[in-house]
Amino acid sequence: MIPDDPGGATNFGVTIHTMRRLGLDLDRDGSVTVADVRALTADQAIEIFEKHYFQKPLIAMLPQPLHATVFDMYVNAGSNAIKILQRLLRDMGHDLVVDGALGPKSIGATQAAFSHAPEHLVDAYGIARRNYYFRIGDRRAASRKFARTRAGGKGGWIKRAEEFISARYHLTDEQFQERVASWA
């Protein structure tokens, strides 16, 4: 468990909030607590991720090269993962409502954008995702430790986003320092 993690108690990437939302009272004591989070197995976590973070939000309907990055972001940020995609598509000229839900219009726009820019859409999404994390750090000082290490280098959020971006679009150390300079 990570102190100050906005997701609260977590096991295998599944938060207590998710377990409460799904009613996963594993020890059957009438409430979902940290004890239930600790009791969660890897197989149960995989089932939760597959059903509630990939199939249910319709990520499986997106072009396959986007699956990993959108799924990973959905696990980390919920419907904000879809809002990031919808904003990106809107910026590309698609007429979409940014509502955090993948419906026929968002799926169609994603497929169209991918067919026009198959070499770029995954990188563009990853960059938008990285910028989302920077904006969280800009607004919430307590979250900066997830975007920047104590030594001042790229933190877990930024490294995670860049895992899904072509190396040519990774920030250099100098660019990263410039971006977070205002965080002091």
* Predicted confidence (pLDDT) per residue in 118-173, tens digit: 989 999 999 999 999 999 999 999 999 999 999 999 999 999 999 999 999 999 99
Predicted structure pTM score: 0.89
CA distance 90 to 96: 6
Q: Any bridge partners for residue 10, and if so which?
A: 15
Alpha carbon 177 to chain centroid, angstroms? 23
- Over residues 93-133, the pLDDT tens digits come to 999 999 999 999 999 999 999 999 998 999 999 999 999 99
Q: Is the pLDDT confidence value at 1 over 90? A: no
Cβ atoms of residues 155 and 120 within 8 Å: no
In degrees rounded to 5, what are phi and psi of residue 162? -70, -15
Q: What sign results for the dihedral spanned by CA atoms 24, 28, 30, 36?
A: negative
Per-residue pLDDT tens digits for 30-87: 999 999 999 999 999 999 999 999 999 999 999 999 999 999 999 989 999 999 999 9
Q: Which residue has the higher pLDDT, 1 or 35?
A: 35
First vs last Cα of the chain: how many Å apart?
27
